[in-house]
Structure 1
Amino acid sequence: MDAGRPRESHAALAPSRPAGGRTRRANEARILQAAEAVFAEAGFNGATMQAIAERAGLPKANVHYYFGTKEVLYRTLLDTILDMWVDAFDHFTPDADPATALERYIRDKMTWSRERPLASKVFANEIIHGAQHVEHYLSTKLRQTLDYRTGIIRQWIDDGRMAPVAPHHLFFTLWAMTQTYADFDVQIRHVLAVDALSDAEFDRATDHAIDFVLRGCGLDRAAPPKGG
């Protein structure tokens, strides 16, 4: 197992049940998608299992059957969001090219801000309200994962492969840069006077973030593969 990715899941809080088939997996995914929207709009306290069931187009009893309680459903959703983001750290390996790793990480985070803005809003709401449901995750799995990856960055710096930076603060900057396009999309849309950011505008924002970060780290963009 990768030392930087300890596996610990809030999904362990879900009720014990036998492994399901395709229908179970489809229904659970459907409920999680609905929960993402409802929790983003109403927060944990304002969300109800009834509202989630209606958004999912399933009976409320089905939501309780698959997840038991609102807290279990909420924690499971948060776990899937955090695991998705933590997986992006896999770009940072000792033998990776620093510019390539940073560019791929930024592209992943910007893609999720574009494609799953509600996931980012759910997490932002949780953090703003004290992170009581993810505090253990943040202080164990996320901290351990980040400590491992920042160690890689420190080694790159020591080897002269990138300019000196504060590794933890580099990641804080990357999170703020990328997640703002989901968490503060209303502000961005009003400033740009658009109803929604186009794919071209998102690409422009992504390129800006990549160029800005690489320059700050004393790096140039990795050359595209020949024949690509």
Structure 2
Amino acid sequence: MPAPSEKPPEKTPEKKPSRIQIRNRKKIIDAALDVFSQHGFRGATLDQIAEAAGMSKPNLIYYFDGKEAIHVALLNALMTEWLDPLRELDAEGDPLEEILGYVRRKMEMSRQFPRESRLFAIEIIQGAPRMLPHLESDLKPLFDEKCALIAGWMNAGKLAPQDPQQLVMSIWALTQHFADFDTQVRVLVPDETAGWKAANAHVETIFRAILTPKG
């Protein structure tokens, strides 16, 4: 005789983190961003991160299992933020303005988030040991989708013909320079406000010139 069916046990709802826990995790992440963007993953230590966060190392480990857990949390958040401007390319928009809008968003990210850009650059230079799965599963499909969109605009004569892949990577290289080489830029152009205004105008002029259809 079959046993009577038993009601499956109810799942215990996950306890939401308190405001103090949320605040402390944010302090750790922000401190880690400073440390990792200066020293890279290999050069950074939990002691450095704890000191920068203003807390003890045991307290830090209460929130994160170790240095790699903090680094991965940072990179996951960074990948989402880094891809958002590319996702915003609109197939229904004016092609040239869509590309120039993307350039402006990337320049603004370099201005606001130089530490994040340097962290990303260091990870890639080191072979992307912790970010490679995200590059393959998140970045590559989005990159292919937007390159196909740009190629369609070019084939329709709405943009001057270029290699779409090289175009997107050139946008990355040029805009992220201002974040990754922030210290050098500040030495060469001490007037930050005027410097950013000139940089934005110059970069936009470059891409407008190469993408405006002839005639």
State the TM-score bracket (shorter-chain normalisation): 0.7 to 0.9
Name whichever of 29-38 and 104-113 sits farther off: 104-113
SS of the aligned residue for 2:92 comes to coil
Residue 85 of structure 2 is aligned to residue 85 of structure 1: no
SS of the residue corresponding to residue 147 of structure 1 reads helix
With over 3 angstroms needed to count, the CA separation of the structure-2 counterparts of 1:170 and 1:18, relative to structure 1, is: farther
In the TM superposition, residue 219 of structure 1 has moved relative to its aligned partner by 5.9
Please give the per-residue CA displacement for 1:54-85, whole angstroms capped at 9, x wherever unaligned: 11122323322222111111011111112111
- 1:215 deviates by 1.2
Distance in 1 separating the partners of 2:213 and 2:196: 22
State how far apart, in whole Å, the 2-side matches of 1:18 and 1:59 are.
Answer: 24
Q: Distance in 1 between matches of 2:67 and 2:187?
A: 34
Identity %: 34
Give 1:169's aligned residue.
166
**Residues 86-137 of structure 1: CA deviation (Å, up to 9, x unaligned):** 0111221210212222222222211221121111111111111111111111
Is the 2:32–2:49 contact (alpha carbons within 8 Å) kept by the matching residues of 1?
Answer: yes
Could you tell me how far apart the structure 2 residues matched to 1:18 and 1:121 are? 35
Quick one: which of 58, 62, 70 aligns to 1:61? 58
* SS in structure 1 of the partner of residue 173 of structure 2: helix
C-alpha separation in 1, matches of 2:172 and 2:59: 35
Size of the aligned set, in residue pairs, is: 201
RMSD of aligned residue pairs (Cα, Å):
1.9
- For the pair 1:35 / 2:32, whether they are aligned, the reply is yes
Counting only pairs closer than 5 Å after superposition, residues 1-228 of structure 1 correspond to structure 2 as 18-192=15-189, 194=190, 197-218=191-212
- Residues in 1 aligned to 2:116 and 2:76: alpha-carbon distance in whole angstroms: 11
**TM-superposed deviation, 1:191:** 3.6
Letter in 1 for 2:150: I
Gaps of 5+ in 1: 1-16, 221-228
**Following TM superposition, by how much is the alpha carbon of 1:18 offset from its aligned partner in structure 2, in angstroms?**
4.0
Question: Deviation at 1:209?
Answer: 0.8
Structure 1 residue matching 2:124: 3-state secondary structure? helix
Which is bigger in relative contact order (C-alpha 8 A, separation at least 6)?
1
- Equivalents in 2 of 1:165, 1:62: separation in Å? 53
List runs of 5+ in structure 2 lacking aligned partners. Answer: 1-13
What TM-score, normalized to structure 2?
0.86
Letter in structure 2 aligned against 1:116: F
The structure whose Rg is larger is 2
For residues 160-183 of structure 1, give each alpha carbon's deviation from its aligned partner in whole angstroms, at most 9, with x where no partner exists.
211111111111100110111111
Distance 1:47 1:154, change over 3 A: same
Distance 1:62 1:185, change over 3 A: same
Distance 1:96 1:75 in 2: 35
Distance in 2 between residues matched to 1:98 and 1:150, nearest whole Å: 12
Structure 2 residue matching 1:130: 3-state secondary structure:
coil
Distance 1:99 1:62 in 2: 51
